[in-house]
Structure 1
Amino acid sequence: MSDQYRVCIVGCGRMGGTIDEEVKGSKHRSLPYSHAAGYTAYPQTTVVAAADVFEEKAQYVCSKWNIPKYYLDYREMIEKEKPEIISIATRPGNHAEITGFAAEHGVKGIYCDKPLCASMEEADTMYDVCVRHNVKFNLGTQRRFSPGYLKMREIIESGEIGDRRSVIAYSGGSALWGYTHAADMLLFLAGDSDVDYVQGDVDVDDNDFEDNRTESDPPIVMGYIQFRNGTRGISIPGSAYEFEVDCSDGIVRSLNNGLGFQLRKRHGQFNEILDTDFPDYEHKSGTVGCIADIVEAIDIDRETEGNIRLARISTEITLGIVDSQRQKGARVYIPMGNRSLYLGRW
């Protein structure tokens, strides 16, 4: 156990250190939000350096968060600074490369911003290297570390509203950049179950699949996930990132991107599903929760809550839905065979 963990940040863009300026004053109570802000707020982490290929970005983030050193090459930074934890806040094209280098150079924990990567080949590489080196890994899908969503899952797992039947995501967006959040929450609210198969409808020109690599990050319109524990996952177009879990004796739902939560239970003379008070919970930053989870996992050598196995599953949900579109809407059984399918040009 360490009183202080040395941290290095790779990527000094929006999520690396500037998004807090955008969301300041938001009703979502998500601050601290960026990686740099989260580490600054958490008492057991100290950011010792940051790296970016654009010097002005590195300089700005280091100045804003009082980070003493910046580098233009993340490899040099890791070799010289010897951090216990790194953040990866770059675009997904080099996440596998950075993860491998960090794991092989003694890094104990990795906080990787979403999306995980752009193909299942890359996801497999990241999984293998993290398992081999016992790296405590979290993907930056912070809802699973946010107290309101944790309370949702607590209600479901307690059996208070009966047996879980389906999980619905009212959200959409591009596969990697947006749907990553939906896939992770569907997985989280389904109890982090393994997946049997997926199907989907994706807004992409079929000709874009000719070289097994799409030119863009295609929008997912609808998705279906058959979880191994029997839960059915469904995503449909929505505008507020809302998630609903339907159980045999009630329904629990997040509202307006987590601004509120709704609980309905079966009761009364006619067994109606009626509104019930959602339990109180403490509002905390999901970013800080993600960081705290990595630190505790290193301290006591346990698995993290958003670990590389779960990150690979949610990524395979997303890529499997896109591959379903490539196969004219066919079921894609997991593990999917087309592991070289690559989304976007990063």
Structure 2
Amino acid sequence: MNRRHFMAAASSLALATHADEPARKWRVVVLGNKGSYGHSLDTMWLKVPGTEIVAAADPDATKREATLKELNITQGFADYHEIAKAKPDLVAIGPAMGLHRDMVLVAAASGALGIYLEKPFCRTLAEADEIIAACEKHGVKLALAHRNRWHPTLPVVKRLVQEGVIGRLLELRGRGKEDKRGGMEDLWVLGSHVLNLGVFLTGKPMACSAEIMQDGKPVRPADVIRTKVDFGPIAGNEVHARFDLESGVPFYFDSIKEAGDPKVGFGLQLIGTKGIIDIRVDQTPLAHLCVGSPFQPMKEARTWVPISAAGVGEAEPVADIGRQVMSHATGALDLIACIEDKNRQPLCSGADGRLTVEMITAVMASHVRQGERVSFPLDTQENPLASW
């Protein structure tokens, strides 16, 4: 993150805690499906200063009425294609990613200036390119709700790695929650967070090699489930992937169904010759530092020191930092700041989302090609399991 982007994130946090609301009211329309708005992408705007929710769309009449009551608004749409009538400035899209492409195309053409989109981004690179093209055509800024990406501790972690606090960076190791969704579903839903953070911290992927398993055996075409609309073709309850990054550091991601405590494994470790930085997604503190070679046994217990936005072992300078980040306030305010500053994109943009989709697609492509090392950019725009 460059200094301007860091200051934007810090400013977003400051704005989120400021008592005075700006005179400008940003009109927000929220899109749901059968009462689903992702991780509170409907109610989040009640906590974002300078915004007002003016309408909601949901095809389920009962759920729609409940949402209107909860948000204290009266305008609702059964068909999200009609949202232009509400004259939105911002559109929040909460349903699962099977609807993302279609909903974003409508939101981009609605007259809105910004879109806040639930993660994962979308199902294929072809969909990603359609989304990005539509936003560019209509001059719309899109922010993807990988909310940890706006955490002000992240640039601190990146600086610590660059300064050699953990010595030479040897590898990254990421895991999903590894609950009942372990495997490819975990990679899509939770692993997308981890991939996004890893790339920000250490660089873009150049190649991938991977294996997908089902009950301990390599996935075959007969194992592919082709009826899950939200994911597209999907298979496997175990994933093992390696990404070779442009920085020269390997990035490993693994997920095994019900492998352990989902509250412990979900995160990313940066392993160096002189220590480890551990990032726990959605937790406060976000990161900890453990100094000392990870390969040398020690008689003394190792200490994990919290990393705050001020540095290692420093008191957290941002009040209520966990709530601010987890409530999406930082992401929403950064999106608004980007609309006002036409020269930059949100800290987690459509381009960032596309790269994550490409990494997940690469895992499937490598497996289909019997573990072959596949290079970026990929030579396919579709889900490799679809035509297997």
Q: 2:200 aligns with which of 176, 184, 188?
A: 188
Q: Which runs of 5+ in 1 are unaligned?
A: 18-32
Q: 1:265 aligns with which of 285, 291, 298?
A: 291
Quote the residue 1:24 is aligned against: none
Q: CA RMSD in A?
A: 3.1
Tell me how far 1:117 sits from its aligned partner.
1.1
329-338 vs 212-221, which moves further: 212-221
Tell me how far 1:236 sits from its aligned partner.
2.3
Tell me how far 1:161 sits from its aligned partner.
3.6
Written as runs of structure 1 = structure 2, the 5 A alignment for 1:219-238 is 219=237, 221-237=239-255
Q: Are the equivalent residues in 1 in contact too, given 2:211–2:366 (CA < 8 A)? A: yes
Secondary structure in 2 matching 1:96: helix
Question: CA-to-partner distance for each residue in 1:100-128, whole Å, 9 max, x for gaps?
Answer: 22223322111111121111111111122
Q: Which amino acid aligns with 1:62?
A: L
Written as runs of structure 1 = structure 2, the 5 A alignment for 1:152-167 is 152-167=157-172
Label 1:290 to 1:41 Cα distance change in 2 as closer, same or farther (>3 A): same
Matched, 1:203 2:213: yes
Quote the residue 2:348 is aligned against: 306
Question: CA-to-partner distance for each residue in 1:12-46, whole Å, 9 max, x for gaps?
Answer: 556627xxxxxxxxxxxxxxx51122211010221
Mapped partners of 2:134, 2:226: distance in 1: 25
Q: Which amino acid aligns with 1:102?
A: A
Mapped partners of 1:156, 1:96: distance in 2: 36
Label 1:157 to 1:50 Cα distance change in 2 as closer, same or farther (>3 A): farther
Matched, 1:253 2:269: no
Q: Which amino acid aligns with 2:378?
A: M
Mapped partners of 1:138, 1:274: distance in 2: 39
Tell me how far 1:212 sits from its aligned partner.
9.0
Q: Are the equivalent residues in 2 in contact too, given 1:251–1:264 (CA < 8 A)? A: yes
Tell me how far 1:317 sits from its aligned partner.
0.6
Mapped partners of 2:338, 2:175: distance in 1: 32
Quote the residue 1:295 is aligned against: 336
Q: Which amino acid aligns with 1:319?
A: T
4+ residue segments displaced more than 4 Å? 12-15, 147-151, 208-215, 217-220
Written as runs of structure 1 = structure 2, the 5 A alignment for 1:6-155 is 6-11=27-32, 16=37, 34-77=40-83, 79-149=84-154, 151-155=156-160
Q: Are the equivalent residues in 2 in contact too, given 1:168–1:235 (CA < 8 A)? A: yes
Secondary structure in 1 matching 2:188: coil
Secondary structure in 2 matching 1:285: helix
Secondary structure in 1 matching 2:306: coil
Question: CA-to-partner distance for each residue in 1:284-303, whole Å, 9 max, x for gaps?
Answer: 33311111110111111221
Question: CA-to-partner distance for each residue in 1:129-156, whole Å, 9 max, x for gaps?
Answer: 2233332211122221234545433433
Q: Are the equivalent residues in 2 in contact too, given 1:9–1:49 (CA < 8 A)? A: yes
User: Structure 1 vs Structure 2: percent identity of aligned residues?
Assistant: 21
Mapped partners of 1:156, 1:85: distance in 2: 36
Give the TM-score of the pair, scaled to structure 1: 0.82
Question: CA-to-partner distance for each residue in 1:214-273, whole Å, 9 max, x for gaps?
Answer: 644654522111111223211123633021112344321024852443212359xx9x99
Q: Which amino acid aligns with 2:291?
A: K
Label 1:262 to 1:178 Cα distance change in 2 as closer, same or farther (>3 A): closer
Mapped partners of 1:232, 1:195: distance in 2: 9
Tell me how far 1:179 sits from its aligned partner.
2.5
Q: Which runs of 5+ in 2 are unaligned?
A: 1-21, 308-314
Secondary structure in 2 matching 1:251: strand
Matched, 1:341 2:366: no
Q: Are the equivalent residues in 1 in contact too, given 2:113–2:141 (CA < 8 A)? A: yes
